[in-house]
Structure 1
Amino acid sequence: MFTTASSWFLILLAAVPFVAWYVLRKRKTTSVAFSDTSGLQNLPKTWKQRLAWVPPALRIAAVVLLIVALARPQEGRKQTVSESEGIAIEMVVDRSGSMQAMDFEVEGQPVDRLTAVKDVAGKFITGGEALEGRFSDLIGLVTFARHADGISPPTLDHPFLVAQLNQSEIVDDRNEDGTAIGDAMGLAVEKLTALDNDRDDKVKSKVMILLTDGENNAGDVNPIQAAELAATLGVKIYTIGVGTQGQAPVPVVDPFTGRKEYRMMEVNIDEETLTKVAELTGGNYFRATDTASLAAIYEKIDELEKSRVEEKQYVDYREWAIEPVQVAGMKMPPLVLLALFALVAQVVLSHTMFRRLV
């Protein structure tokens, strides 16, 4: 960015042609009378004669440089400093066996519930479609089935977080299957409250987004107790019950043929508990019965939990008149110094090799 602080001084450049005319005009010089000078006209010019224009040109250049320096040309470098007051979000995702139910669609293709969650939650984190992304927020991930697993602590490395989410798989071992909602909530609360010990600046607000398609049937912590703890520690919980009403098609393998087939199974979501958990912490309960409604829920949460981001712009100006100038990758002296060099060179040359007899 280039500007001048006192542009009106540039008006003086209009007087430069008159200065040039005054400096370069022919002056009367001392002469010696000769009877005939025609023979002198064919003599070759010396290098001094050929370069006689240099001293006056230096004087004109000095005047131009001084006028430009008076206009105070400035090169500005803009710097933007972002200040954000972000939100810490812990995403708690169910990966129990019931998440295999094929009652969701992504791009027109039937998918299981976890795949739909990965698609929508990924857009919630990094942005996509109607979701802007949570670029200034710390986001962590906890997944659970019979046990709760802390996959990622709250982080600003969202590509890594989304990669970890996409690598999460539905459990296929009966010994690992179950729905430990309370344990997962307790782990998420622990990770969110630990942020105040790890950071000098406290997080504006702490939010948990709990997504499940079942009811608490494993683990040691009761979801209501975990919600009361969350409320005491200032963690707001949004709960999402995911799955169609009534029955949903679940893939099973026929033990005799080995073929995968779909059977309709009952959907049992403990909506009463999920609603109470949300109410205790000042959050909301949502029900997602398809991909569109799931996306709408994340859009709603995105609107409810906004981060404050402020940008301050600073401009660092370099004064060309008194600071070195960068031209075509070369560092040049300040304009005032260049004008001084030109003026000194003109005086020296005019009184030495280009000295003229008056």
Structure 2
Amino acid sequence: MISFNHPLMLLLILFFFLFLILKKSGLVAIPELKLNLVNWKGFFPKKNKLMEFGNFLCYFFWYCGIIFLIIALSEPIVFKNKQVYTDAGSSIMFLLDISPSMAAKDMNGETRIAAAKKIIRKFVAKYPGDSFGLTALSSSAALILPPTIDHKVFLSRLDSLSIGELGDGTAIGMGLAVSSAYMTRTKLNSSYIVLLTDGENNTGEINPKTAAEVLVNKNIGFYVIGIGSSGYTTLEYTDRKTGKTYSGSIFSKFDEVELKKIAQYGNGKYASASSPEILENIFNTISKQVPAAQSNFTRIIEENLYVYFLSASIFSFVLVWLLRRIFMRVYL
């Protein structure tokens, strides 16, 4: 709903059009002003159709600029409803494998990482009042984003993740250590780590068993999801650092036994997803076990649209100047 802080200013629009009508009828005259943007004797000489069209555009955008300026002076505002959550909610850290094997296209034609990102987006949408964080792992691990209530930032960081940024190994132990190191410092009601990977731990200085046991001591919920299946599959990805594209057929080694052990070490749960449908079912199950923030109220906030109309007004005046001085090569 749009309102105005100074609605009487809108009457200037009526006066402006009334002035144009009186001017056209010859009842009023405008004093000549020596300004670069104003020439009420005509913008262009009517030599040809192109000049006439340019003349029309100049008048049109000039009038639009004046109208936008008047609207800006009236200070238009729009009221929006915003859900405000009063309890802390859950803190959920996604630990996502970005090793090259996650580019395997065995998820109904999608890559494993694309399927993972898609289902994470759906899951986040179900928890508007909860915090989400992101850690990436490959041959090393890095905290991409600590848990935040700003879901737009989270999803932006999620989309920006690309295959091969952290090497070509799978350091699950390091990934768990990085994730749990931050999660233990949070003061939220409940904390969870969701690991999505397709490989076995084959690098890193930290043993997955040691890292997973820390989760038990800190009372952090733990889910391990294995993506993909063992066997030959196609792979294709572009290394952002070098710009080189890799493609071909690889033998995917999916160590489900090891992933189950890691889940047990962390007193967590393991599930395997060989298709997007199964992956979605797994996340539906998780959503039943992870409570969403419930206590909330609706706050009405107002957004001032002044700057948008002022920008449109300035843009219109600049466009008139460009038409007169550059494109039409007319100088006052």
CA shift in 2, pair 1:308/1:119, >3 Å: closer
Matching residue of 2:174:
183
**1:148 counterpart = 2:151:** no
Counterpart contact for 1:94–1:179, Cα < 8 Å: yes
Q: 1:260 to 1:94 in 2, by over 3 A?
A: closer
Q: Within the alignment, does 1:194 sit opposite 2:185 as a pair?
A: yes
Deviations 1:274-298 (A, max 9, x none): 2122233332101010111111111
TM-fit CA distance, 1:81? 6.9
Assess, with a 3 A threshold, how the Cα gap between structure 1 residues 111 and 309 changes in structure 2: closer, same or farther: same
Letter in 2 for 1:160: V
Contact kept? 1:101, 1:251, Cα under 8 Å? yes
Partner residue in 1 for 2:279: 294
Query: Shift of residue 260 of structure 1?
Result: 6.8
The letter for the 2-side match of 1:177 is: D
> Following superposition, which runs of at least 4 residues in structure 1 exceed 4 angstroms of deviation?
79-82, 258-261, 311-314
Match of 1:167 among 160, 166, 173: 160
Identity percentage of aligned residues: 31
User: CA contact under 8 A between 2:103 and 2:237: conserved in structure 1?
Assistant: no
Cα distance in 1 for partners of 2:282, 2:213 equals 24
Q: Which residue of 2 aligns with 1:214?
A: 199
Structure 2, unaligned runs of 5 or more? 1-81, 239-243, 300-332
1:279 equivalenced with 2:264 (yes/no): yes
Flag the 1:161–1:260 CA change in 2: closer, same or farther, 3 A.
closer
User: Aligned pair in 2 of structure 1 residues 177, 84: CA closer, same or farther (>3 Å)?
Assistant: same
In structure 2, relative to structure 1, the CA distance for the partners of 1:80 and 1:243 (3 Å cut) is closer
For residues 308-345 of structure 1, give each alpha carbon's deviation from its aligned partner in whole angstroms, at most 9, with x where no partner exists.
Answer: 4124799xxxxxxxxxxxxxxxxxxxxxxxxxxxxxxx
Question: Does the C-alpha gap of structure 1 residues 281 and 104 become closer, same or farther in structure 2, counting only changes over 3 Å?
Answer: same
Structure 2 vs 1, CA of residues 162 and 308 (structure 1 numbering), >3 Å: closer, same or farther? closer
- Indicate if the aligned counterparts of 1:209 and 1:237 stay in contact, CA closer than 8 A: yes
**Which residue is equivalent to 2:213?**
228
1:203 aligns with 2:188: yes
Contact 2:236 2:245 (C-alpha < 8 Å) held by counterparts: no
Change in 2 beyond 3 A, CA 1:261/1:308: closer
Amino acid in the other structure paired with 1:97 = P
With the length of structure 2 as denominator, give the TM-score of the two structures.
Answer: 0.59
The Cα shift of 1:80 comes to 8.8
Query: 145, 149, 157: which one pairs with 2:150?
Result: 157
Question: Residues 156 and 245 (structure 1 numbering): CA distance in 2 closer, same or farther, change over 3 Å?
Answer: same
Give secondary structure in 1 for the equivalent of 2:155: helix
- Distance in 2 (CA, whole Å) between partners of 1:259 and 1:192 is 36
CA 1:259/1:278 → structure 2, altered by over 3 Å: closer, same or farther?
A: closer
SS at match of 2:87: strand
Q: Is the 8 A contact 1:224 1:273 kept in 2?
A: no
RMSD: 2.7
What are the equivalent positions in structure 2 for 1:44-59 lying under 5 Å apart?
A: none
- 2:254 maps to a residue whose letter is I
CA gap of 1:82–1:184, structure 2 versus 1, over 3 A, is closer
CA contact (8 A) 1:193 1:233 kept: yes
Give distance in 2, aligned partners of 1:271 and 1:306: 28
What are the Cα deviations for residues 7-66 of structure 1, in whole angstroms up to 9, with x where unaligned?
A: xxxxxxxxxxxxxxxxxxxxxxxxxxxxxxxxxxxxxxxxxxxxxxxxxxxxxxxxxxxx
- Partner Cα distance (1:154, 1:259) in 2: 32
Find 2:98's aligned residue among 95, 98, 106. Answer: 95
Q: How has the CA–CA distance of structure 1 residues 259 and 100 changed in structure 2, closer, same or farther, with 3 Å as cutoff?
A: closer
Query: One-letter code of the match for 2:291?
Result: K
1:207 match: secondary structure: strand
1:150, CA displacement in angstroms?
0.6
Contact 1:182 1:221 in 2 (8 A): yes
Change in Cα spacing, 1:313 to 1:161, as seen in structure 2 (3 Å) is: closer
Structure 1's unaligned 5+ residue stretches are 1-78, 128-132, 196-201, 315-358
**Aligned equivalents of 1:260, 1:141: Cα separation in 2:** 26
Distance (Å, rounded) in 2 between the aligned partners of 1:249 and 1:297: 25
Count of residue correspondences: 213
Aligned-partner Cα distance in 1 for 2:169–2:247: 22
Q: Distance in 2 between matches of 1:259 and 1:139?
A: 31
Q: Indicate the SS of the match to 2:169.
A: coil
Residue type of the partner of 1:167? S
1:8 corresponds to: none
Compute the displacement of 1:184 (Å): 0.5
1:270 aligns with 255
Larger Rg: 1
